[in-house]
Amino acid sequence: MNNLTDTPVPDPGSGGDKKESKQSSALKKTSRYRSRSLSASSTDSFSSASYTGSSSDDGDDVPPREKVQKNSKGNADFCVRNINQQGFGRREIEIAEQEMPGIMALRKRAADDKPLKDAKIVGCTHINAQTAVLIETLVELGASVRWAACNIYSTQNEVAAALAELDIPIFAWRGETEEDFWWCIDRCVNAENWQPNMILDDGGDATHLMLKKYPTMFKLVKGIVEESVTGVHRLYQLSKAGKLTVPAMNVNDSVTKTKFDNLYSCKESILDSLKRSTDVMFGGKQVVVCGYGDVGKGCAQALKGQGCIVYITEIDPICALQASMDGFRVVKLNEVIRNVDIVVTATGNKNVVVREHMDKMKSGCIVCNMGHSNTEIDVNSLRTPDLTWEKVRSQVDHIIWPEGKYIILLAEGRLVNLSCSSIPSFAVSITSATQALALIELFNAPPGRYKSDVYLLPKKMDEYVASLHLPTFDAHLTELTDEQAKYMGLNKAGPFKPNYYRY
């Protein structure tokens, strides 16, 4: 819920703020783009890449835009760090495919129908192995695509190369400048013989650019699918302002996204993030989790399961009551801050952990952020002359107080699950399938079904996405008998629940 006032979107046409020093600009960009990384497909490729020994350091400092590269077929309609990395990228994509059964099933089922035939999609998302699976699926389903990154740091260069090798026009590399960033998007929107009719956006930048710079082209778009909190927020603003001239699908609030991506992903990644970065033992550790929404619930459950003693802070009495009934003490942060071994933020709010709290923490306390922005921990308050920062590992800083006490800050307060762990491909698979279905729905909807407004995915599609993932678990659905369907007043094929059902 990063509001737009806080992170003003620069007009891509202007360039006013490009003059500042390089470093401060980089810092700003970090915080700016990171703030969008709540989106499900956001996965920082750091960890897996670092494992393989392969990395973005290709010993080649030529900026990609200045390079001349062709893929093995002679095609040059792309811009990536190094086309030669494609072999490794292809392997990473193949591994991801194994854990993305839903999107692969969709690819298989719909391959003959080509439901996206004639769709021309501008994509702007994180670019990593999992999104590559999505992109290649869209192509299999008949679409033409052009793709850019929604984040200057998150591109997995090898994967981008692998996509380019398949003649997919991709414009993205890790470590773009802000100018590069907008250039890449522009290259996806505006190309020869290319009138896009769909946008798949993660953060709203492709939508923004096309609307501002190519308003005529924008009017011919049939639909927008938006993934992130920020992007959805921007769409609602546009809609309120009367400027949204095409239907848009908010997939951020679909049940498969909120329940699966938030709850289950975080349940898996909190343990992984803490272990990989600090090797901490969980048994008996005292942890405070700030916030008991879906993310906080997932974290608290996983940590308790591994033997931690977990405290919760909450502002909402209903969530607080849930925490209580689930067996967690609900406290104010100050009540436990001197005793806890680990602090996890999961509120979506700002300044939840401030300097005053950190002054009270015991030495060795680990502090990390699982919420959605980089604002939850007031990291700036730690950048004072009396404190010493020592980087002990990648993504791990010791902040040392004059008297010798130190705290362990992960990922400099940014999202620790993106920086210090991998995101389960399976969760991404659910979101990707949702995005693909949303594209199909908007692209094929009869005229009039959707107006120029922001829509939630029809529940039936949510159910379809779920059903695509059941074979992975060898799960067998029961079918209603006619008599039962009648008794319940349901259609045998669903949807099975009222819209307000909470799951």
Binding residues for NAD(+): 293-298, 314, 417
Piece in contact with a copy of itself (CB under 8 A), picked from 22-30, 79-87, 183-191, 331-339: 331-339
Sheet (strand 329-330) strand order = 329-330, 309-313, 286-290, 342-345, 365-369, 406-410, 396-400, 388-393
Among 33, 153, 171, 260, binds a copy of itself (CB under 8 A): 260
142 binds a copy of itself (CB under 8 A): no
Torsion of CA 24, 29, 35, 39, to 10 degrees: -160
Whether the CA torsion 290, 295, 296, 300 is positive or negative: it is negative
381 binds a copy of itself (CB under 8 A): no
Contacts to a copy of itself from residues 428-487, by CB under 8 A: 462-464, 466-467, 469-470, 472-481, 483-484, 487
Among 257, 267, 372, 414, binds a copy of itself (CB under 8 A): 267
* Helix, strand or coil, per DSSP, at residue 262: helix
Contacts to a copy of itself from residues 19-78, by CB under 8 A: 47-48, 50-53
Residue 258 and residue 40: Cα distance in Å, rounded? 9
Q: Which is nearer to a copy of itself, 257 or 414 (CB)?
A: 257
Contacts to a copy of itself from residues 282-321, by CB under 8 A: 282-284, 286, 294, 302, 304-309, 313-321
Least distance (Å) between residue 73 CB and a copy of itself = 25
503 binds a copy of itself (CB under 8 A): yes
Contacts to a copy of itself from residues 194-253, by CB under 8 A: 253
Q: Which is nearer to a copy of itself, 22 or 476 (CB)?
A: 476
329 binds a copy of itself (CB under 8 A): yes
Residue 404 backbone class (left: φ over 0; alpha: ψ -120 to 50; beta: rest): left
| Binding-site residue set | 293-298, 314, 417
* x-or-dash string of contact with a copy of itself, 403-422, rule CB under 8 A: ------------------xx
Q: Which is nearer to a copy of itself, 195 or 491 (CB)?
A: 491
Task: Let me know: does 229 contact 2? Beta carbons within 8 Å.
Answer: yes
Among 245, 351, 381, 444, binds a copy of itself (CB under 8 A): 351
84 binds a copy of itself (CB under 8 A): no
Least distance (Å) between residue 500 CB and a copy of itself = 7
Residue 384 and residue 121: Cα distance in Å, rounded? 47
Least distance (Å) between residue 154 CB and a copy of itself = 16
Best CA proximity match to 365, nearest among 341, 345, 396, 388: 341
* Token duo for residue 278: 């600090």
Least distance (Å) between residue 315 CB and a copy of itself = 5
DSSP for 115-126? TTTT-EEEEEE-
Q: Which is nearer to a copy of itself, 147 or 328 (CB)?
A: 328
335 binds a copy of itself (CB under 8 A): yes
111 binds a copy of itself (CB under 8 A): no
For residue 170, the surrounding DSSP H or E stretch is: strand 170-171
Best CA proximity match to 198, nearest among 120, 290, 144, 281: 120
Residue 178 backbone class (left: φ over 0; alpha: ψ -120 to 50; beta: rest): alpha
Piece in contact with a copy of itself (CB under 8 A), picked from 138-146, 201-209, 220-228, 387-395: 387-395
Best CA proximity match to 78, nearest among 197, 168, 14, 16: 168
330 binds a copy of itself (CB under 8 A): yes
Task: Name the CA radius of gyration of the chain, rounded.
Answer: 23
340: which residues sit within 8 A by CB, 6+ positions away? 286, 287, 288, 311, 361, 362, 365
Q: Which is nearer to a copy of itself, 147 or 282 (CB)?
A: 282
Least distance (Å) between residue 37 CB and a copy of itself = 18
**How do beta strands 120-125 and 309-313 pair?**
unpaired
